[in-house]
Structure formats: C-alpha cells, structure tokens
Chain A
Amino acid sequence: MINIEHVTKKYGDFTAVNDLSLTVESSEFLVILGPSGCGKSTLLRLINKMIERNDGVITVNGENIDDLKGVQLRKTIGYVIQNIGLFPHMNVYKNIATVPRLLKWNEDTIAKRVSDMLALVGLEPTIYQVKTPAQLSGGEAQRIGVARAMASDPEILLMDEPFGAVDPINRLRLQKEFRKIQRKLKKTVVFVTHDTDEALLLADRICIMNKGEIVQVDTPENIVLHPKNDFVKDFFKEEGILTILSRKPAVDYAEPFELDENPLHQDATMRDVLLTMLTTGQERVSLINGSISWDALLQIAGSDVHDSE
C-alpha cells in the first residue's frame, strides 16, 4: 500500500506536483493518466525517492519513506521505464539478476529465479538468458524489462510508460499479458501513461492528473460514464465506451438462450460481441455458454448511466 499525503514538488518557480494526496491499495492496478508535463512521472519518482519532495508525507507499506535510505527503498520496489534501460553490456541473465545480486542472494536461487521470470513473461529461458539486449526485438526487450523489475519479487511495481516504445500490435499483447501477470501475482502497480486506451484496459482505478493536481480518481467505467468535468470528458472522447466494453468478458453476461451457430471464442469481450452484431447484422450473438442480445448489450454498456438517474 502506498499513501501519499499533501505532497508538493517544485522545480524553482514551477510546481510539478501540488499538494497532492492519493492512496494506492495493495494489489491494486492504479493508472496515472494525464497530458505530458502534468506531473505524473514526477509523482512516480517521488514514491521511490528518485527525486526528493518539498512537502508532504509518503508511506510505503506503512513505513515513512523518509526513514528509509533511497537505495534501500528502491531495492524493494520494481521500476520499469519507457526505454527499458536494459544494460547493453550484460546479457539477459545478468540484467534480470541485477537486483537479486544487489541483495546478495546465492547464485543457485538467482539462476532459478531468472529462469522462472523468463518463463513468466513467455520467453524460453535457455534461449533467452544468454542473449544480449542488442539481439532482442522491442517487445522482447520490454518483457525482459518487466522480468527484471519483478526479479526480487517486490510487492510494488512503478512503471513509467513501459509500453510506450513498442509497436501497437505488440503493445496490446504486452498489456494483456502484463495484466494477467499482475492479477496472478497480486502486485501493487502504479502505472504512468498518456494513452487513454491503455489506462482503460489495464486499470482498476484511474487517477487523472492535470497541472500537478488530481482531477478525478475512479474506476474506468465511472470515469468514462461520469466524467467530472470537460477536461476529463475531452480526454476520453466518445470512444472510451468501446474500451470499457473490451474489458468485459462476454461469457460473464451470457443469457441462457442457445443459438444453433458457431459461438464466439471463449475470451471474446463485449466489444467483440458488438463488432459481430455490426458486421453480420445479427441481433443476437452466440457464445459458448449461451448468447447475448442487442438489448442486453445496450443495457450493459449503459447500466451505470441508468443506475445514476
């Protein structure tokens, strides 16, 4: 758990983070979203003491970070940045082993951990651990970056636009994989991005920042359906609802009404259901455990709107 209370960071006359308070719950995936220069990266770097704040209190798992040395604190928090920062003079094994080695684990434990981490991010350990960063594709390098950040099994991961430099197709795959890993391992993640789709896809809660302050913190559904002001509304535009639908597994909403046709695959989302309806003209789409009608889809998409009225 991370607790941020009335934190301020100034660079000369410029206030990067202004009297900001925020709590990140354990195992929560919190995405900090905002335009560039809004102070989101600064906020992230205040948490692991990469930069010192001017005012306020930050506690990590109940401990005031002022009581910890920066070096000590950072060894317990995973950190992934946009350009990954893999060490080019070390092979993949040594890169992933960095923090375990700093923590002086014994080499057998490290070797096992490295191969577990590679398997976790979907790369064959025996092939990949001897490669150098120059031999990796962008997507592979990013996976190694995630594996490296998780090598010492930190409870908290700080990620600064980690998938920003990956091509769109690989980005979506990485996002989905990483979300699965996060759910499985129950890591607390603070994830900075300026990409609204990424935020909607990954977040348990989204914290929207502008000019060093929080504009709105809420679940993706609530933010899209009840934007607090025009800034938030403009940020998401109208397509937000599509991303919300893509977060909802279709099987969860199936009605017990079997159709005599090929069902959508098991991982299909409500967005896939909508697309199928639009492209085929059907008003009811078959699923493996039933089907979904157009009316039901409308209700699911707008459920929160109706609830609030």
Chain B
Amino acid sequence: MTVNKKGLFVAAFLTILLTVIVIYSKGFEQILYKFFSSKSENGSRTLLVVYFFEHLWMVILSSLIAIVLGTAIGIFITTSYGREFKALLLKTVNLGQAFPSPALLALAVPILGYGIKGALIALVIYILMPIVYNVVIGIEEVPKDIVDAAKGMGMSEVEVYRKIKIPLALNVILGGIRTALVINISATTLAATVGAGGLGVLIVNGVKTFDMVLILEGVIPVTLLAIIVELLLKALQQRLIWNS
C-alpha cells in the first residue's frame, strides 16, 4: 500500500508538470532554447496543446479498441469453443507485434489512405499481442482444482468465467494492458508519418531538420504521459486484485 501511495504521489507531480508544459508551451520552448541551439527561433507553429490532444485521443481510441478486442480474443481461445483456434490466433497476433511498426503504418496508407483511420488500425494490431497473451496466460494459470470445484458445484461455463477465472486472472490481464498502453503511447508518435498528427509530428520534423528543441518538445510529453499512465495503472492493478 505504501508503494501504491508513493506511485500515486509521483504520478500527481508528473501530471502537474505535464499540464504546465502543455499549457505554457511557449515558455517551455524558451527554456529549451537556452540549452539547445536550434535553426528556428520561434518553435513549432502549431501549439503543443493541439498535438498533445491529438496524441492522447489516438492513444485512448486505439487502446480501447485493442483492450476490448484483445480481451475478447483471449477469453474466446481459452473456452472450449475457441480452443481449436488458439494456435492460429496467437500466431496471427504474434505477427502483428513482430511486424516492424513503421512498415505496418506504411502498409495501412494504400489501403485506408492518409489520416487517423490507418494509424488507429496499425496501432491496434501492434499492441494486441501483450493484451491477448496476458489474458490467455492469466486464465490458464487459474489452478485446475479451483475450476474443477466451481464446475462441480454446478457453475455454467459463463459463470466460471465471470465469478472465478476472470477475477483470478485480473492481475495478469491488467499487467498486459499496462504494457500495451505504455507501448502504445510511444508507438503513436509514428502516426505522424501517415499524417494522423500527434506529438510525433514534432519529433519527425525535428529529426528531419536536426532540430533538438522540436524533438524534445515531442519526446518529453510523450515520456511523461507514458510514465504517468504506467503509475496510475499499477495503482489500479493493486487496488483491483484480490490478494493485495
């Protein structure tokens, strides 16, 4: 519980820091100019806050889709109905992760065109693996005796999942979601390459022009966001699991 509180404290502090940076982006740029030489002297033309919310929106949307889809796939392939699809689906999901993410995005463009749609689909595919794997592992690691006892008392398969398997697997499932979200927050920077916006725009432009200020203006909020989300989910995980 003390670890939990410390984590929340740090998360709160970082959130304040991030909010200040996003709102007073011009001041933030001025500070960066003091430390790094840059070709431009007036920073990004679009406000940081716009990029930030584009980024956040893509992360939220793709994460929600991936969590729903990944959990559904994970649960399905552990049931008696879905068991035969397990090997196939796990391999497919694996491939999504193994495939280099920039290539995944590039491939989405000819099919879905430039913009947010392609980026979202690519991100969902990319982060599906940790979610699905942890759902499967979490559920399969529920001790056989406990499942046996539950069935023996007359629980239907749905009841076994709802009352026994999912509550007991929740810790592992949330672990997977946490990993997926942290990956997602940084992977979303690539969405800029297909014209979907987000903090990646600053990084991509910065890299193109060797502009350290632009790069950092994108990297720092992304990193802060990832750490905050990680800390918050860890606290949530500790609160939700049964043996905390």
Interface set of A (CB-CB < 8 Å, partner B):
48, 50, 71-76, 79, 81-89, 98-99, 102, 134, 148-149, 158
B154 adjacent to A87 (CB under 8 Å): no
Distance in angstroms from A104 CB to nearest chain B CB is: 12
Whole-angstrom distance between the alpha carbons of A71 and B157 in the complex?
Answer: 9
| A74 and B168 contact, Cβ closer than 8 Å, known pairs A88-B146, A88-B242, A88-B243 | no
Whole-angstrom distance between the alpha carbons of A98 and B164 in the complex?
Answer: 11
B156 adjacent to A81 (CB under 8 Å): no
Q: Whose C-beta in chain B lies nearest to the C-beta of A72?
A: B154
B149 adjacent to A89 (CB under 8 Å): no
B148 adjacent to A85 (CB under 8 Å): yes
A50 adjacent to B152 (CB under 8 Å): yes
Contacts of B154 in A (CB 8 A): 71-76, 99, 102
22 contacts between A and B (CB under 8 A): A50-B148, A50-B151, A50-B152, A71-B154, A74-B151, A81-B148, A81-B149, A82-B145, A83-B143, A83-B145, A84-B145, A85-B145, A85-B150, A85-B152, A86-B149, A87-B150, A88-B146, A88-B168, A89-B242, A89-B243, A99-B153, A99-B154
Contacts of B156 in A (CB 8 A): 71
Interface set of B (CB-CB < 8 Å, partner A):
143, 145-156, 159, 163-164, 167-168, 242-243
A75 adjacent to B243 (CB under 8 Å): no
Whole-angstrom distance between the alpha carbons of A148 and B153 in the complex?
Answer: 9
Given A79-B149, A85-B143, A87-B163; 11 other pairs, CB 8 A cutoff: A48-B152, A50-B148, A71-B154, A79-B153, A83-B143, A84-B149, A85-B150, A85-B152, A87-B150, A89-B168, A134-B243
| A89 and B167 contact, Cβ closer than 8 Å, known pairs A81-B145, A81-B148, A134-B243 | yes
Q: Whose C-beta in chain B lies nearest to the C-beta of A158?
A: B152
A87 adjacent to B151 (CB under 8 Å): no
- Contact partner, B152, options A79, A86, A88, A134, Cβ 8 Å: A79
Contacts of A149 in B (CB 8 A): 153
Contacts of B243 in A (CB 8 A): 88-89, 134
Whole-angstrom distance between the alpha carbons of A73 and B163 in the complex?
Answer: 20
- Contact partner, B155, options A71, A89, A148, Cβ 8 Å: A71
Whole-angstrom distance between the alpha carbons of A82 and B146 in the complex?
Answer: 11
Whole-angstrom distance between the alpha carbons of A134 and B243 in the complex?
Answer: 9
Contacts of A74 in B (CB 8 A): 151-154
Whole-angstrom distance between the alpha carbons of A76 and B152 in the complex?
Answer: 10
Whole-angstrom distance between the alpha carbons of A83 and B145 in the complex?
Answer: 6
- Contact partner, B153, options A72, A75, A82, A83, Cβ 8 Å: A75
